[in-house]
Amino acid sequence: MESTRLHRGVVAVRSRWADLERDWQSVAVGATTVAAIAIFELQIPW
Amino acid sequence: MSAARFLPGLAALLLGAVLARAVELTVGFNHLLVAIALGFVLANAVGVPDRLEPGINTHKLWLGAGIVLMGASLTLETVLEVGGLVLLVVVGVTTLTILVVELLARNVFGLADQLGSLLAAGSGICGVSAVVAVAGAIRAREEQIAYAAATVLLFDAITIVVYPIVGDLLGLSDVVFGVWAGVSMFSTGPVVAVGFAHSEVAGQWATMAKLSRNALIGAVVIAYASYYARSGSASRPSVRTLWDEFPKFVLGFLALVALASAGVFSSAQQASIENAYNWLFVLAFVGLGTEIQLAELRSTGLTPALVVLLALVVASAVSLVTLSVLFGT
Give pLDDT tens digits for B45-91. Answer: 999 999 999 999 999 899 999 989 988 888 877 777 767 888 899 99
d(CA A28, CA B130) in angstroms, rounded, equals 23
Looking at the complex, report in whole angstroms how far the Cα of residue B4 sits from the nearest Cα belonging to chain A. 12
Where are the extended beta strands (E) located within B42-133? Answer: none
Residue B129's contacts (CB-CB under 8 Å, 6 or more residues apart) are: B187, B188, B214, B217
Q: Which of B61, B269, B273 minimises the CB distance to A25?
A: B61
Looking at the complex, report in whole angstroms how far the Cα of residue B113 sits from the nearest Cα belonging to chain A. 30
Which of A9-23, B13-27, B115-129 holds the top average pLDDT? B13-27
Q: Residue B294: what pLDDT?
A: 82
Mean pLDDT of B3-14: 93
For every one of its 46 residues, what pLDDT tens digit does chain A have, with 9 covering 90 and above? Answer: 677 888 888 888 888 888 888 889 999 999 999 999 999 989 999 8
Mean pLDDT of B244-261: 86
To the nearest whole percent, how much of chain B has pLDDT over 70?
95
Q: Residue A45 burial (CB < 10 Å; 0-12/13-18/19+)?
A: exposed
Q: Which residues of A touch B64 (CB under 8 A)?
A: 22-23, 25-27, 29-30
Query: Is A18 within 8 Å of chain B by CB?
Result: yes
What's the mean pLDDT when you consider all of chain B? 88
Q: Residue B161: what pLDDT?
A: 92
Q: Residue B38: what pLDDT?
A: 94
